[in-house]
Homo-oligomer: A and B are copies of this chain.
């Protein structure tokens, strides 16, 4: 198996190829080849193996009980799939994984992953970091979603962005459509609230550029 592409993914960061070869030599790893349209994992199927996409790309689709499917995410090689659902009591694939094009993947049984992580502390740290980052993003998004009003979401978002960008004038890093999606609201609703916040003197907005006029007022808007 060609391990070179693996070095590019965060899970194997800081490992050299020799080390990686040593690890893989000890593991029961299967390399599989798949064709466009193949199903790599069924939704709700027990997630008892780590699938690492080596070449090609896949899509994750979630099917509801009525049979309708919604696309959740596309993943391109090289990248592991569903790394966070490998462990835990309810370890099932949250989505159905379907190949978008021909490709190859390495499949590692769960026990082998455990073994692999015990063998190398750097690898273990990478795995834990990835899990933690994922949990942090999830947690942040959840906090955002549990805010009641659009103004609250915008206030939190803007203050955070201002802190990250180190300036009172922030530049949105996504389109407003994408931002509305992230917030789980309709685009015109977001626009309307931005307009209202300008009217109320909280911000000045010009397309993707927004100036925070009163952080104090924004902090208040965040909570009530």
A94 within 8 A of B: yes
Give per-residue flags for A90-107: 1 if the beta carbon is below 8 A from chain B beta carbons, else 0. Answer: 110010000000000000
In the complex, are the beta carbons of A89 and B129 less than 8 A apart? yes
A20 within 8 A of B: no
Q: Which residues of B contact A114 (CB under 8 A)?
A: 121, 124-125, 128
A32 within 8 A of B: no
**A61-79: which have CB < 8 Å to B?**
64-66, 68
Name the contact of A66 in the complex, choosing from B64, B84, B139, B222 (C-beta under 8 A). B222
- Decide if the interface of chain A is mainly helix, strand, loop or mixed: helix
In the complex, are the beta carbons of A139 and B136 less than 8 A apart? no
Q: Which residue of B lies closest to A115 (CB)?
A: B121
Which of A22-30, A140-148, A200-208 makes up part of the contact surface?
A: A140-148
In the complex, are the beta carbons of A135 and B88 less than 8 A apart? yes
Q: Which residues of B contact A215 (CB under 8 A)?
A: 65
Q: Which residue of B lies closest to A118 (CB)?
A: B121
Q: How far is the CA of A139 from the CA of B138 in the complex (A)?
A: 7
- 18 of the cross-chain contacts (CB-CB < 8 Å) are A64-B222, A64-B223, A65-B219, A65-B222, A66-B216, A66-B222, A85-B136, A89-B129, A89-B133, A90-B133, A91-B132, A114-B121, A114-B125, A117-B124, A118-B118, A131-B131, A146-B184, A148-B184
